[in-house]
Amino acid sequence: MERMPKPLPKDDEILIKVKATSVHRGDSRMRGLDIPGPWITKVLARLYLGSTRPRKKVLGMELSGIVESTGEKVTRFQAGDEVMATTVFNGFGGYAEYKTMPQNGPVTKKPKKLSFEEAAVIPSGGVTALGILKQAYLKKGQEILIYGASGSLGSISIQLAKAEGAIVTAVCSGKNMEMVRSLGADHVIDYQKEDFTTNPKRYDVVFDAVGKIPKNMAKKALKEGGIHLNSDTSSNKIKKYNIGSLLTELAGIVSSGGIRPFIDRTYTLEQIVEAHRYVDQGHKRGNVAIRMV
């Protein structure tokens, strides 16, 4: 823990008093510089993130909080607004008491029905899930298999797919089967007992939400002309969308009742090391929230 100067918003920025943030697989990767993909991707990522340690001193990829003050040119928000944001494209910084964000950046008003902890775990994973699933052009009645369905990305993807009217088959461990059913999964496969690639069932979309299935294996479960999505490779294509617009769309889906985040554990900021150690184990269910105190 370290004291740093309180940031000042520029003319087009808002200053957010952070109420909650999160820890997920992406944070763990940023901290450990454990970047998936070919060697060139790893090299470029290290140049951007830091060669031996994170270049950004304050990590944290998403947050929720209250607008404390605004720059002179800000018209979209005012002091007192409750907001949520993803900081991935704005220097990270969610693990702090205050964070500045451009008013037209990936920040939007928090749905009233969510607590600050619930709102904090949605922006990063939610935008990623929404951006990836848009690439599948899901239609009502189509069948999608989501592998790694009990994680932060998988759990929100189940709900987004159901909001589009898709039929969802979730793949997870036996202990998490009831959890994914509660999120709306129509069918559930325990990967410890059944290999979905040897099942005769075929799907319109196979989404590997944890980036662990070889591409050739995933394609075995696809119908002819089906679409294979991967959390590591498909997320690179999200850049073609406006991230702020995706976040605002996500907030609308939440407000209409289409999504409710599942929180596994909640820690305080003082316990964030313990939270990271828990996430590093790879067995969390849904999301891990950090409450500022």
Predicted local confidence at residue 232, as pLDDT? 85
Tell me if the domain spanning 13-122+261-291 has CATH number 3.40.47.10. no
**Every domain of the chain and the residues it spans:** 13-122+261-291, 126-236
Contact 258, 234 (CB under 8 A): no
Predicted local confidence at residue 33, as pLDDT? 76
Cα separation, 229 vs 136, whole angstroms:
8
Predicted local confidence at residue 278, as pLDDT? 95
The whole-model pTM stands at 0.89
Q: Which tokens sit at 133?
A: 């699933």
Predicted local confidence at residue 54, as pLDDT? 78
- Which CATH architecture best describes the domain 126-236? 3-Layer(aba) Sandwich (3.40)
Predicted local confidence at residue 71, as pLDDT? 98
Q: Which spans in the chain are helix H?
A: 25-32, 39-49, 116-120, 123-134, 152-163, 177-182, 215-219, 243-255, 272-280
Cα separation, 89 vs 217, whole angstroms:
33
Predicted local confidence at residue 133, as pLDDT? 96
Predicted local confidence at residue 244, as pLDDT? 94
Tell me the three state secondary structure of residue 76. coil
pLDDT tens track of the chain, all 293 residues?
A: 899 999 999 999 999 999 999 998 888 877 887 777 777 777 777 777 777 777 788 999 999 999 999 999 999 999 999 999 999 889 999 999 999 999 999 999 999 999 999 999 999 999 999 999 999 999 999 999 999 999 999 999 999 999 999 999 999 999 999 999 999 999 999 999 999 988 899 999 999 999 989 999 999 999 999 999 999 889 888 878 899 999 999 999 999 988 889 999 999 999 999 999 999 998 899 999 999 97
Predicted local confidence at residue 55, as pLDDT? 79
Tell me if 13-122+261-291 shares its fold with 126-236. Answer: no
Contact 125, 210 (CB under 8 A): no
